[in-house]
């Protein structure tokens, strides 16, 4: 239990003075269930019997199903509870208790009266069972009758049972009865609303540490993991489990670190949660999600609409974008820029896009962004790369690397040029120019050096470089071999870097 000490203390304080209605809200994976479990397992309200109900995510929820399923295991025989004749209305819900229930009452005047009688009967059995707290999880999935019953309990002038409900605000429809429960002051009880927030970087580090036996986690690892998960506890937990299954993280000195910090995958649990939410949206909203996933970075509404469907109906595409933002998967900042709320959700949607469709959307995104001022060269490089336009990719990636070098960000420049040299089929002249731009000593790990050396040797083996170009490329291979401490091989490559056409030898000092 990390980062929720204040919330847990507030829950305990509120429930220590019943009756009370407690609302725990937060997005999927924020830790609502974990908080309630901790409360009930280690800090259950004194002298209160607790009933825990859960609303399943089914297409057609059973009427009053969560409440009925919670009451059923609480008793096997109600004959000694002293129930009034009103409890006979429970026979359809509890056929197994029929022998110990009073007879079914006569027909009610109308459906509303029948439902009110049923609610009073459920309230009576809760009181007779001594239930002091009814906790209902995931109320955003509850059927209408369950929501009406919760409203009924909260509106009782002499309320006996405290309520604790959890829900996702982004899943509440505008006509949901849950809004009445969350917006109205209970008639005979106090009220507490808790809005759970993501963990900060120290909280992320503490959570990972708790999963690794309490040992220290490097600041860099915690920061990168927080950036990728936005501090969402479920995403943090599942990401660490996935890394652990892949033999990562690893020990580095006196703390845990990550070997490949920028290669955090989307955990299957997180992916399934995101995709399940997205398929419940309309086609236009799903198109908006795909467009925002391709763009990745915050983008204006018109850019998202262009990437969605440039030939589509403007009204329907805007309505779809509005629905996607309303779902909570996307957000719109004060500048009017649209993006995913969580990077892992963005990656989950992106990876689910069929490759041909993804390539076409990247090309549309590139053409849209080419008109922006100032030119977003890093984004353009990525979009043209994924669209398969190597010429435009190389042009914008080199411009992006030049800007990084000019601002002193050599590490980013190295990553950009490394990607070009190892993944693009470039002419020898371009290879020579790019390898001369950046200090490859900043590469991390021998694997990156080997990838780059293999790419340079492929250019040499193709036999296309002119003698001077071949000498330049061999010189850079020698530099890379020095970085991997292959000094003898480096010396050999230096000797081969003689330019036979000029008869001169390159007299350069290897990069430090």
d(CA 456, CA 469) in angstroms, rounded, equals: 11
pLDDT digits (tens, 9 = 90+) for 69-108: 999 888 878 888 889 998 999 998 999 888 889 998 888 7
Beta bridge partners of 167: 25
pLDDT digits (tens, 9 = 90+) for 399-415: 999 998 888 888 888 88
d(CA 475, CA 497) in angstroms, rounded, equals: 6
Q: How many residues does this entry show for the chain?
A: 512
With a CB cutoff of 8 Å and minimum separation 6, the contacts of 341 are 27, 230, 328, 329, 330, 331
Q: What angle do CA 420, 425, 426 make, to 5 degrees?
A: 75
Neighbouring C-beta atoms of residue 463, cutoff 10 Å: 8
Per-residue pLDDT of the chain (512 residues; tens, 9 = 90+): 788 999 999 999 998 888 899 999 999 889 999 999 998 886 565 567 899 999 988 778 888 999 999 998 888 788 888 899 989 999 989 998 888 899 988 887 888 888 999 999 999 999 999 999 999 999 999 999 999 999 999 988 888 899 999 999 988 888 899 999 888 888 778 999 999 999 999 999 999 888 888 888 888 888 988 988 899 999 898 888 887 776 655 555 444 444 443 456 788 888 998 999 899 899 999 999 999 999 999 999 999 999 997 777 888 899 999 999 998 899 999 899 999 988 889 999 999 999 999 999 999 999 999 988 888 999 999 999 999 999 999 999 999 999 988 888 888 888 888 888 888 888 888 888 888 877 777 776 677 778 877 888 887 777 677 777 777 778 777 777 777 777 777 777 777 776 544 433 343 444 43
pLDDT score, position 167 = 95
- Domain 379-512 fold is 1.25.40
Give the residue carrying structure tokens 């890379």: 480
pLDDT score, position 263 = 53
10 neighbors 196 (Cβ within 8 angstroms): no
pLDDT score, position 486 = 74
d(CA 146, CA 143) in angstroms, rounded, equals: 5
Half-sphere exposure at residue 134, Cβ-oriented, CA atoms within 13 angstroms = 28
pLDDT score, position 466 = 76
102 neighbors 84 (Cβ within 8 angstroms): yes
| Pairing status of strand 20-25 against strand 162-167 | parallel
pLDDT score, position 246 = 62
pLDDT score, position 505 = 39
417 neighbors 396 (Cβ within 8 angstroms): no
257 neighbors 445 (Cβ within 8 angstroms): no
Share of the chain above pLDDT 70, in %: 90
d(CA 141, CA 146) in angstroms, rounded, equals: 10
181 neighbors 150 (Cβ within 8 angstroms): yes
Q: Residue 61: which of 146, 171, 188 has the closest Cα?
A: 146
pLDDT score, position 242 = 82
At 23 the three-state DSSP class reads strand
Please state the φ and ψ torsions of residue 400, each to the nearest 5 degrees: -65, -40
CATH number (3.30.565.60, 3.30.1510.10, 3.40.50.300, 3.50.50.60) of 5-75+129-195 reads 3.40.50.300
Sign for the CA dihedral angle at 340, 278, 309, 394 comes to: positive
Residue 269, class by beta-carbon neighbours within 10 Å (0-12 exposed, 13-18 middle, 19+ buried)?
A: middle
Neighbouring C-beta atoms of residue 264, cutoff 10 Å: 22
d(CA 419, CA 421) in angstroms, rounded, equals: 6
pLDDT score, position 248 = 55
Residue 195, class by beta-carbon neighbours within 10 Å (0-12 exposed, 13-18 middle, 19+ buried)?
A: exposed
pLDDT score, position 168 = 93
d(CA 165, CA 24) in angstroms, rounded, equals: 6
pLDDT score, position 43 = 57
pTM: 0.72
d(CA 491, CA 427) in angstroms, rounded, equals: 26
d(CA 200, CA 183) in angstroms, rounded, equals: 29
DSSP character string of 118-183: HHHHHHHHHHHTTEEEEEEE-GGG--HHHHHHHHHHHT-TT--SEEEEEE-GGG--TT-THHHHHH
What does R_g of the chain's alpha carbons equal in angstroms?
Answer: 31
pLDDT score, position 258 = 46
- Domain-by-domain residue ranges, the chain? 5-75+129-195, 201-265, 266-369, 379-512
Q: What angle do CA 219, 223, 228 make, to 5 degrees?
A: 150
| Token pair recorded at residue 93 | 């819900």
Q: How far is CA 281 from CA 169, 324, 326, in A?
A: 16, 7, 10
């Amino acid at each position: 239990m990390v980062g929720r000490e204040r919330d847990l203390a507030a829950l305990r304080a509120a429930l220590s003075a019943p009756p009370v209605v407690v609302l725990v809200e937060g997005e999927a994976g924020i830790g609502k269930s974990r908080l309630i479990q901790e409360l009930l397992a280690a800090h259950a309200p004194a002298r209160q019997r607790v009933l825990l109900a859960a609303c399943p995510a089914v297409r057609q929820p059973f009427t009053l199903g969560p409440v009925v399923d919670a009451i059923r295991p609480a008793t096997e025989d109600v004959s000694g509870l002293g129930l009034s004749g009103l409890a006979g209305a429970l026979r359809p819900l509890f056929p197994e208790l029929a022998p110990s229930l009073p007879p079914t009452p006569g027909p009610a005047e109308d459906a509303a009266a029948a439902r009110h009688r049923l609610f009073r009967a459920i309230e009576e059995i809760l009181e007779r069972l001594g239930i002091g707290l009814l906790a209902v999880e995931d109320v955003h999935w509850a059927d209408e009758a369950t929501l009406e019953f919760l409203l009924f309990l909260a509106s009782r002038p002499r309320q006996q049972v405290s309520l604790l409900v959890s829900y996702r605000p982004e899943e509440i429809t505008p006509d949901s009865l849950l809004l009445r429960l969350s917006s109205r002051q209970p008639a005979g009880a106090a009220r507490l609303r808790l809005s759970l927030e993501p963990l900060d970087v120290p909280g992320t580090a503490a959570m990972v540490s708790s999963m690794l036996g309490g040992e220290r986690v490097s600041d860099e690892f915690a920061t990168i993991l927080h950036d990728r998960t936005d501090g969402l506890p479920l995403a943090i937990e599942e990401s660490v489990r996935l890394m652990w299954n892949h033999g990562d993280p690893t020990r580095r000195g006196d703390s845990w670190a990550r070997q490949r910090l920028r290669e955090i995958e989307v955990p299957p649990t997180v992916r399934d949660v995101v995709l399940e939410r997205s398929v419940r949206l309309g086609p236009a909203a799903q198109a908006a999600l795909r467009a925002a996933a391709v763009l990745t970075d915050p983008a204006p509404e018109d850019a998202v609409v262009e990437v969605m469907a440039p030939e589509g109906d403007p009204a329907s595409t805007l309505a779809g974008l509005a629905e996607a933002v309303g779902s909570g998967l996307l957000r719109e900042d004060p500048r009017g820029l649209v993006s995913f709320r969580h990077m892992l959700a963005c990656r989950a949607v992106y990876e689910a896009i069929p490759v041909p469709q993804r390539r076409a959307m990247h090309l549309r995104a590139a053409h849209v962004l080419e008109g922006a001022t100032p030119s977003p060269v890093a984004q353009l490089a990525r979009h043209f790369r994924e669209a398969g336009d190597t010429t435009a990719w190389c042009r914008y990636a080199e411009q992006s690397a030049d800007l990084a070098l000019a601002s002193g960000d050599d590490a980013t420049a190295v990553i950009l040029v490394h990607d070009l040299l190892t993944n693009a089929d470039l002419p020898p002249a371009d290879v020579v120019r790019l390898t001369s731009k950046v200090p490859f000593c900043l590469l991390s790990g021998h694997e990156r050096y080997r990838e780059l050396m293999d790419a340079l040797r492929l250019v040499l083996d193709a036999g296309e470089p002119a003698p001077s170009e071949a000498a330049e490329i061999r010189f850079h291979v020698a530099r890379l071999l020095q970085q991997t401490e292959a000094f003898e091989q480096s010396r050999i490559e230096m000797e081969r870097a003689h330019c036979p056409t000029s008869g001169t030898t390159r007299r350069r000092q290897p990069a430090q």
